[in-house]
């Protein structure tokens, strides 16, 4: 196979992903949806051909429906007939969909969707002619626009199929009773003339082009052997990241946007699937931000409004107090992360917009209070619930900010990169650049670049996942979190598959909780679900890794090598980062591809409710960006790729911390077996039929 054939193959795959299976003609011709809908009239005496302009119909836009009557006996069109058309006043089921919201009456929610529908009809009627049919067509005789061709206008409300009823009043025999109507389903597409698959492919192609330009630029400079290109040598990039307004220009708009999310979460509908706060926070932001960690590290922390508020407060208050030394670790952050995850399992926080708004407010208030009493970004470094997760996932990112020559830093006394200077405030994350060999806590704020008078900082590409085995320091809190994330992501994904619900019902049925006075099935299910989450994430998976460490310790002892159990657990805990991350990515990929398009009708609805603008009727049943089969194999590719990184990291860790080939194998073999078991569980879970727990 040559490069030309390979390029053609890739182009065909991308085109297939963009166009999707629904674009194949019904007639067997490929390239567009079927433009003619065929049926029959008069008990098979006539052929009925329906054509649509546009085809398919677009929700919110006026269309023309044409019916052509053809006599089967002669093959000629039937002119001069009377063709009656009707489209019932039908509400799409998606506008009646509701979620189980405690304390909310079903009728109230139905009234809300009915009001939305009536407002949408009035908005559309204001745009089209008063005589146009909006949302329905009463029984009407169609206009004969050509011999045997009968037409009428219609404006559909939503991207849902509509039923067209056609009745042909036979002109050749007026004494015959009226023929029964023939019902034809009219396809209606998303009203925005944009194909999300094409956007996805366009983004991929644009990213490929950008990567090619970067490679050309990097390769164009002469580099010494073993030297890597420093992106800070690009004048435009250096000016951008060292500009005084670089961070505020990103942080302030995002802070205002967070304020909007809080307002919408408190003031808008309690339906999570229709509230912008829950849909954007949990389906888009939380599902998508994980992918940024493995590409650009903690770049989100640079723009995070909560971190910005913490840092701004600290600069204004100028506290001198440092965070207590015994607490300078991730144990508090890990605990709050587990608590937040447990609250999702127990209380379903992602299903309640008000809780989502409350969480954002709580984090903002905590960041402000921390900034009043402690230096710099203490909240971000030690208290943020996701700081540990961001940190260990960022260790895989192929981009690093490092000191060019550590000896230059050691010989320089002022250390403006850390303490600050005339043009910088110093590192807000308490990182000493001359000692930093991991992405775990660098948020790419570039304050060190601003302040360094020696021009001793480099921003460069490195091996994917290098921090897992190359970092000089190992911490038990990070290793434990890596193992817990492997168990938590496995459990939370298991909740998405149908066998889990069957298993949960079986477990609940066998527990004698009624004897304790607990009779509510919902309460029992919540207790069992929460307990199983804590057991799997905090006990079973960590115990499995600890047992593997104990076996490794025994094997090493037989070889005459003595190692502490916590040391072995801490060293090899980092090889479980890619395993938990792979399941986390696969889980979130499902939400992004399958549920991500649902953000569009939520935006339509929110803008229509809180502003004077209208983007049309929300299309609540938008199809996923890609088929479930394509998503499944993307998930499997993620598993295979990241498991390879895990095994490589385990081998490098064993080789670095244990003396020779024999002891390396004895130390790593039990960990490889445990990692294999977890990966097989991941594959098994995602091979089961989906039945998503989340309502977003």
Average pLDDT for consecutive 10-residue bins of the chain (696 residues)? 49 45 37 66 82 84 88 85 84 48 48 64 65 80 89 82 84 54 83 64 86 74 76 91 93 95 92 88 91 92 94 94 94 92 76 90 96 95 94 95 89 88 91 92 93 91 93 92 93 81 70 63 72 86 95 89 90 95 92 87 86 74 81 94 96 86 86 95 88 46
Which one of 462, 487, 508 terminates a domain?
462
Shared domain for 577 and 499, answered yes or no, is: yes
Q: Under 8 Å CB-to-CB from 592, ≥6 apart: which residues? A: 283, 284, 287, 288, 625
Q: Residue 26: what pLDDT?
A: 36
- The answer to whether 502 and 593 have CB atoms below 8 angstroms apart is no
Q: Residue 2: what pLDDT?
A: 52
Shared domain for 521 and 497, answered yes or no, is: yes
* SS3 of the chain: helix, strand, coil, percent, to 5: 60, 10, 30
Q: Residue 369: what pLDDT?
A: 97
360 domain residue, yes or no: yes
Could you give phi then psi for residue 329, rounded to 5 degrees?
Answer: -160, -170
Q: Under 8 Å CB-to-CB from 422, ≥6 apart: which residues? A: none
Shared domain for 415 and 337, answered yes or no, is: yes
State the residue range of the domain holding 263.
238-319+326-462
Q: Write out the two tokens for 56.
A: 């398919």
**Count of Cβ atoms closer than 10 Å to residue 216 Cβ:** 9
Shared domain for 404 and 284, answered yes or no, is: yes
Shared domain for 480 and 456, answered yes or no, is: no
**Count of Cβ atoms closer than 10 Å to residue 368 Cβ:** 17
Q: Residue 171: what pLDDT?
A: 55
Q: Residue 116: what pLDDT?
A: 66
Shared domain for 602 and 524, answered yes or no, is: yes
The per-residue b/e assignment along 133-170, b for 16 or more CB within 10 angstroms, e otherwise, is bbbbbeeeebebeeebbbbbbbbbbbbbebebbbbbeb
Q: Write out the two tokens for 599.
A: 């953000």
Which one of 158, 189, 220 terminates a domain?
189
Shared domain for 383 and 506, answered yes or no, is: no
Shared domain for 451 and 481, answered yes or no, is: no
To 10 degrees, what angle do helices 305-317 and 246-267 make?
A: 120
**CATH number of the domain encompassing residue 77:** 2.20.130.20
Domain count along the chain: 3
567 domain residue, yes or no: yes
Q: Can you give the length of the chain in residues?
A: 696
**Count of Cβ atoms closer than 10 Å to residue 257 Cβ:** 12
Q: Residue 196: what pLDDT?
A: 66
Q: Write out the two tokens for 281.
A: 């926070």
Q: Residue 207: what pLDDT?
A: 85
- The answer to whether 499 and 688 have CB atoms below 8 angstroms apart is yes
696 domain residue, yes or no: no
Shared domain for 124 and 259, answered yes or no, is: no
Cα 210 → chain centroid: 23
660 domain residue, yes or no: yes
10 domain residue, yes or no: no
Shared domain for 266 and 180, answered yes or no, is: no
103 domain residue, yes or no: no
Which one of 189, 215, 230 terminates a domain?
189
Q: Under 8 Å CB-to-CB from 250, ≥6 apart: which residues? A: 302, 303
543 domain residue, yes or no: yes
Q: Residue 314: what pLDDT?
A: 95
Paired residues of 137 in beta bridges: 87
Could you give phi then psi for residue 46, rounded to 5 degrees?
Answer: -120, 150
Cα separation, 593 vs 595, in Å, equals 6
What is each CA distance from 158 to 92, 353, 625, in whole angstroms? 7, 25, 19
Q: Residue 22: what pLDDT?
A: 41
Shared domain for 457 and 485, answered yes or no, is: no
101 domain residue, yes or no: no
Shared domain for 566 and 629, answered yes or no, is: yes
Is residue 28 helix, strand or coil?
Answer: coil
Q: Under 8 Å CB-to-CB from 596, ≥6 apart: which residues? A: 283, 284, 287, 625
């Amino acid at each position: 196979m040559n490069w030309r054939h390979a390029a053609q193959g890739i182009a065909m795959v991308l085109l297939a992903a963009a166009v999707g299976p629904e674009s194949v003609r019904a007639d067997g011709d490929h390239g567009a949806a079927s433009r003619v809908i065929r049926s029959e009239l008069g008990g098979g005496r006539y052929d009925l051909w329906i054509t649509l302009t546009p085809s398919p119909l677009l929700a919110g836009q006026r269309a023309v429906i044409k019916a052509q009557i053809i006599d089967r006996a002669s093959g000629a069109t039937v002119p001069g007939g009377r063709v009656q058309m009707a489209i019932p006043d039908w509400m799409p089921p998606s506008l009646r969909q509701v979620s189980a919201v405690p304390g909310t009456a079903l009728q109230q929610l139905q009234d809300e969707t009915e009001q939305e529908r009536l407002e949408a009809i009035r908005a559309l009627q204001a745009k089209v002619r008063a005589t146009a049919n909006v949302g329905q067509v009463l029984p009407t005789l169609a206009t004969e626009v050509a011999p045997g061709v009968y037409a009428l206008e219609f404006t559909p409300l939503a991207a849902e199929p509509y039923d067209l009823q056609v009745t042909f009043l036979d002109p050749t025999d007026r004494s015959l009773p009226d023929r029964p109507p023939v019902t034809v389903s009219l396809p209606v597409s998303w009203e925005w003339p944009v194909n999300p698959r094409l956007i996805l492919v366009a983004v991929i192609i644009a990213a490929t082009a950008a990567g090619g330009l970067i490679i050309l630029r990097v390769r164009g400079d002469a580099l010494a052997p073993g030297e890597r290109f420093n992106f800070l040598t690009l004048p435009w990039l250096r000016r951008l990241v060292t500009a005084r307004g670089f961070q505020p220009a990103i942080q302030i708009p995002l802070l205002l946007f967070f304020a909007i999310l809080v307002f919408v979460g408190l003031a808008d509908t309690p339906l999570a699937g229709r509230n912008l706060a829950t849909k954007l926070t949990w389906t888009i932001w939380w599902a998508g931000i994980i992918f940024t960690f493995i590409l650009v590290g903690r770049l989100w922390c640079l723009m995070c409004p909560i971190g910005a508020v913490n840092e701004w407060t600290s600069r204004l208050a100028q506290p001198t107090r440092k965070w207590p030394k015994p607490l300078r670790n991730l144990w508090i952050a890990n605990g709050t992360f587990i608590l937040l995850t447990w609250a999702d399992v127990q209380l379903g926080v992602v299903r309640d917009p008000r809780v989502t708004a409350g969480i954002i407010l709580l984090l903002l208030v905590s960041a402000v209070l921390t900034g009043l009493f402690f230096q710099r970004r203490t909240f971000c470094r030690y208290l943020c619930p996701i700081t540990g997760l961001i940190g260990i996932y960022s260790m895989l990112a192929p981009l690093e900010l490092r000191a060019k020559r550590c000896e230059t830093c050691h010989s320089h006394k002022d250390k403006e990169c850390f303490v600050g200077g005339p043009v910088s405030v110093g590192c807000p994350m308490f990182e000493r650049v001359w000692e930093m060999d991991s992405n775990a806590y660098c948020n790419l704020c570039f304050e060190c670049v601003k302040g360094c008078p020696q021009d001793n900082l480099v921003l460069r590409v490195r091996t994917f996942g290098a921090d897992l085995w190359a970092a000089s320091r190992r911490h038990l809190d990070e290793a434990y979190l890596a193992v817990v994330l492997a168990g938590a992501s496995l459990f939370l994904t298991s909740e998405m598959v149908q066998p889990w619900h069957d298993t949960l019902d079986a477990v609940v049925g066998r527990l004698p909780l009624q004897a304790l006075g607990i009779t509510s099935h919902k309460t029992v299910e919540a207790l069992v679900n929460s307990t199983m989450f804590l057991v799997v994430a905090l006990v079973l998976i960590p115990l499995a890794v600890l047992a593997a460490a104990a076996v490794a310790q025994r094997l090493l002892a037989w070889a005459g090598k003595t190692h502490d159990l916590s040391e072995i657990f801490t060293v090899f805990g980092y090889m479980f980062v890619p395993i938990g991350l792979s399941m986390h990515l696969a889980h979130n990929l499902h939400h992004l591809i399958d549920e991500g398009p649902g953000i569009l009708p939520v935006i339509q609805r929110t803008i229509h409710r809180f502003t004077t603008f209208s983007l049309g009727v929300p299309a609540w049943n938008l199809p996923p960006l890609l088929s479930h089969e394509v998503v499944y194999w993307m998930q499997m590719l993620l598993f295979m790729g990241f498991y390879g990184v895990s095994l490589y990291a385990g081998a490098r860790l064993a080789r670095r911390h244990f003396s020779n080939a024999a002891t390396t194998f004895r130390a790593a073999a039990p960990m490889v077996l445990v990692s294999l078991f977890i990966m097989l569980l991941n594959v098994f879970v995602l091979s089961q039929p989906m039945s998503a727990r989340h309502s977003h």
